Amino acid sequence: MIKYNHLVANCLIFYNVFSLSHIIQEYIQEGNEYNEELLAYLSPYVTAHVNRFDIYQIDSNRKPPNLSFEVLRVV
């Protein structure tokens, strides 16, 4: 049995992981320094500001960006 609420929640978490990873990689590539203690506080689990009942426009012709499965190495 598929639990659709869990599926949607997992999709949101996956999207947030992708977005956070992309933003952090760009930040590091720009030569910025980062605090690993602050990175430890980031979480892809959203508990606020999720509008479940809004109308969302989906562009089915848009190609998704390439995923990078490279692990971020904290120095």
pLDDT in tens, 2-48: 788 888 888 888 888 888 888 888 998 899 988 888 888 888 887 77
Closest CA to 4 of 52, 46, 44: 52
Mean pLDDT on 53-66: 81
Domain that holds residue 44: 1-65
64 against 54, higher pLDDT? 64
Q: Mean pLDDT over residues 51-73, rounded?
A: 77
Alpha helix positions (H), the chain: 4-29, 36-39
> Which pLDDT belongs to residue 74?
57
The pLDDT value recorded for residue 72 is 64
In-domain check, residue 74: no
Number of compact structural domains in the chain: 1
75 in a structural domain:
no
Cα distance between residue 18 and residue 8, in whole Å? 15
Residue 25 lies in a domain: yes
Specify if 71 maps to a domain: no
Q: How far is residue 12's CA from residue 69's CA, in Å, rounded to a whole number?
A: 18
Residue 72 within any structural domain of the chain: no
In a domain, 70, yes or no: no
**Whole-prediction pTM value?**
0.62
